[in-house]
Every structure is written in C-alpha cells, then in structure tokens.
Amino acid sequence: MDLTTTAVRTALNSTSYVSAGLAGRAVFRLFRTPRGRSRLRPDERPVMERAEVGEVVVGGEKAVSYRWGTGERPVLLVHGWESRGSRFAALVSELLDLGLSPVAFDAPGHGEGAGESMTIVDLCDIAWALDDEHGPFEMVVAHSLGVTATFLALRDGALRAERVVAISGVPDFGYLVDGFCARLGLRARLNTELRSRIERELFPGEGDIWSRFAVPRALAEVGRPLSVLVVHDEDDDMVDPAHSRALADTLGDRADLVVTRGLGHRRILGDPQVVASVRDFVVRERAVRAPARPDPSPQPAAG
C-alpha cells in the first residue's frame, strides 16, 4: 500500500470514530470520482483517428461515441470503471477484418466524455441509446463493470444481442463497493455508510439495488438465449476469477471459458491471445448460424 493510500485510510478510519457521517461523505466522494482520466495511448491513436465520432447524452452529461466500418453487423464495446473506449483498439482492428462494425464510447468522467463521473445506470443508458442508433448488435464485448452493465441492459430489453464476450467481469455492484473498501482498508462501519449513501444519493427510490444490479439475477431474467465467451486472468487483483468460472458454470454449454495468466485486470484487453479468442468465437458463431447449403447432387425424380 503506498503512502497516499495509507494516509487516506488512516484519516477516514480515524474520522469515522468521531463522525461517521463526515467520514461517509468523504468515502462516497472518493468512490464516485475516477482516479484521474484515462489517456489515449500512442498505439491506440491510429485506430481512434479512423473512427466516426458522435455523442450520447446521459444524466445531463455527454458521452462520446466512436463508430467504425460500414454499419453492417455492428458490435458494441463497453468499457469499465476508469477506462475508455480506445482500450479496445486491438480488438477493433480484428473485428473490422472480420467484416464487423465496432461501436465504442467514452462514458461521462472517462476518456473524452464530459462530466466528473458515471454510474452503472449511465452505462446501461449509453448502451440503450447506441442500440437505438446502431443496433440490434451482433455481439457485445464488455470489460469489468461494463460486463455487469451489459447483462443488466440485456435483461431490460433495450439492448439487443445474442452473443456476449465478458472479460474480467464484476459479478455485482456490491462487489465493487466491497472491493473499494477492502483496497483502502476501511472499517466495516464505513462500508455500511457508503452503501447507505449510494442508495440515498445515486439511486433514490430504487428497489434492492444490491440484488437487482447483479449478473446472476440479470442473466436469469434475460428474455433470450445467449452465447457467451467468458475471459478472465488468473492474476487479476481487482476481480476474483472465481466469479467468471461461476458465470461459465451457470451458462453451461452456452459458454466458453478462456483463462489467461500474467495479464491482470487491465492489460487483458489488448492481449493478442484474448483478441484471437474473440476472433475464434465470432468465426465459430458465424459458422453455427450459417444456413446449410443445399446438396448439389442430382435427386431422384418423384414418382
């Protein structure tokens, strides 16, 4: 743990003994604010410069959208927390080679998006808006919190796709909260305070968000069959790979599981092995859906 994190942990835990409300407000602000805005990398620039750029307004803030290809066979790319659409650059090139039309975005508070932050509902709203403009999608490729949002958006019906690639998926919104508190080393009292503030300030009047914003429940309520490629790295220090194994087990023969090593939570997106696995998934799914060719051999005359 670095010195800054140690100082923050000490200050928050100490303050919580005097005023749980004051410490809770500070924790909530930290939770909502990305740690710096993810920047475009030099190797991503050539792909991003080829994109048609648009915008989507969610929650009063502008998300930036990116579109490549002809528009035929569109694929939606959904980034996660503290990320951006350009992180899919290597995959965009591969999808274009396959004749697909990728669509990506930077959510508010991320990449080139406006504003300071986003919520999981913002991710769902962006996916729905892009479905209206470009969908239905042949496939959705999502990473981290984007996986959670993808299954929620599919469940609610406004995002249409029958194939999903789920990379390093967060299993539910509560897992994100618990992981944040654990990484900072916060007291259980502050975890409770943070959850309470999220309910009151981010989702007022909503039902049980901790159950509703969960992949297992969303998956059970999706109204169409899904074919899913599940990808996770054994050395992911943000999301336990056991959750992706559980997702694959739940889906049974509708899922393929790819486990990588040494990539962690973020480098997995641009890894050539992962890009190749997505390509193979697309090619195999295309072959499964292709209509059988008629037998060219002569047929006996009727009668």
Kindly report, residue by residue over 79-101, the tens digit of the pLDDT. 999 999 999 999 999 999 999 99
Q: What pLDDT shows up at residue 3?
A: 56
Helix (H, G, I), strand (E, B) or coil at 214: strand
Grade residue 303 by pLDDT with cuts at 50, 70 and 90.
Answer: very low
Overall size of the chain counted in residues: 303
Q: What pLDDT shows up at residue 302?
A: 46
Grade residue 208 by pLDDT with cuts at 50, 70 and 90.
Answer: confident
* Residues forming beta bridges with residue 29, ordered by sequence position: none
* Residues forming beta bridges with residue 50, ordered by sequence position: none
* Residues forming beta bridges with residue 172, ordered by sequence position: 214
* Mean of per-residue pLDDT scores for the chain: 90
Whether residue 109 is predicted with pLDDT greater than 50 in this model: the reply is yes
pTM value is 0.90
Whether residue 26 is predicted with pLDDT greater than 70 in this model: the reply is yes
* Tally of helices (H runs) and strands (E runs) in the chain: 12, 8
Q: What pLDDT shows up at residue 160?
A: 94
Dihedral angle sign, alpha carbons of residues 184, 190, 195, 200: negative
H-helix segments, the chain: 3-18, 20-32, 45-48, 89-97, 120-134, 145-155, 173-184, 188-197, 209-212, 215-221, 242-251, 272-289
Whether residue 300 is predicted with pLDDT greater than 60 in this model: the reply is no
Q: Which two tokens stand for residue 26?
A: 């500070």
The alpha-carbon radius of gyration of the chain (Å, integer) is 21
Whether residue 115 is predicted with pLDDT greater than 60 in this model: the reply is yes
Residue 64 DSSP code? E
